[in-house]
Structure 1
Amino acid sequence: MHKRQSIISSIKNSFDNIHIDEAHSFTSAWSLLLKNNYSFALLDMSLPTFDKTNNNTGGTFRVFGGKEIARKITRRKIETPFMFITQYKNFSEDSSLYSFESLKAELIESYPEQCKGFIYYNNASSEWKDEINNTIKDSIYNADFDS
């Protein structure tokens, strides 16, 4: 099972009546975030610029696509809480190198109100499932009781 399918399956198995919209690229994710008022967003750190098709390879691969979306969310004052997920332990773009831990610390510090976590996805482990599901539960369902 692919990463996206594993994540969606885990979330749907843990929450009844949850609606999930999928975006396959930076552009489609940003478009959905502009058009909808989401309770929560799970952002893949690295993704193609455009949706892949038979005639399109997806354009430039954005190593920090999720980080770019988070920046746009806060600049537009969109209040959706979010969490990052990645299957990479190291990131590089141009001459910048980041470890999973250094990028996690930077993002949590940069977005203290909205960033609810940074998860390492590993298909051989189930830790990520608990992290995602607990964060969604705390962010969405517990927020209903705080109002």
Structure 2
Amino acid sequence: MINLLLVEDDDPKLDQVVYFLENLPSQLQVTVAKSLNSACNLIDREYFDIILLDMSLPTFDGRKTAGSNGRQKTFGGKEVLMYLWELEIDTPVYVITGFKDFPGEFGQVLLPQLHAELTDEFPANYKGNIYFTHSSDDWKLQLRNLLEK
């Protein structure tokens, strides 16, 4: 049994990924977190064999409006990776994102740039990324391949 943590706040994407995972022949136990805080709390309490991590996450579950406690963090997923690093937990992490670029402090950060940064900063955890889009099944093939390793 593979214990998998899926960290995702976008319900349509979450539904598609969970549906796909639940219909794979491999035995998966899927746990969902919808925010940075929820992910860290689950990591504190449970062991996961693999983590699928969205990059853009709210701080807390619930509202995502500006000024609320659940404000969206462009690199919230990076904070989850930092948390794993601080706790010396070496669970493999794959970023699953629907964005090809992210607004950064000094301009746009393209997905290949983010991949290089995460590979350099979190080599024990970060294992790659999967580009998710509703209009293609490429992400399914990538996800199936990594789970069969």
Same fold per TM (> 0.5)?
A: yes
Q: Structure 1 unaligned segments of length 5 or more: list them.
A: 139-147
Deviation at 1:118, TM superposition (A): 0.8
Runs of 4+, deviation exceeding 3 Å = 93-96
Gaps of 5+ in 2: 1-10
Q: Tell me, yes or no, if structure 1 residue 116 matches structure 2 residue 130.
A: no
**Structure holding more helix per residue:** 1
Considering fraction of residues, name the structure with more strand: 2
AA at the equivalent of 2:93: F
**Residues 1:134 and 2:145 aligned together:** yes
Distance 1:59 1:117, change over 3 A: same
Distance 1:96 1:31, change over 3 A: farther
Aligned to 1:3: 13
Helix, strand or coil at the partner of 1:9: helix
User: What is the CA-CA distance between 1:57 and the residue it aligns to?
Assistant: 5.7
Over the aligned positions, Cα root-mean-square deviation in angstroms equals 1.9
| One of 44, 48, 52 as aligned partner of 1:38 | 48
Q: Distance in 2 between matches of 1:15 and 1:112?
A: 29
The 8 Å contact of residues 116 and 135 in structure 1, kept in 2 or not, is answered as: no
> TM-score, with normalisation over the residues of structure 2?
0.83
**TM-score normalized by the length of structure 1:** 0.84
- How many positions carry a matched residue from both structures? 136
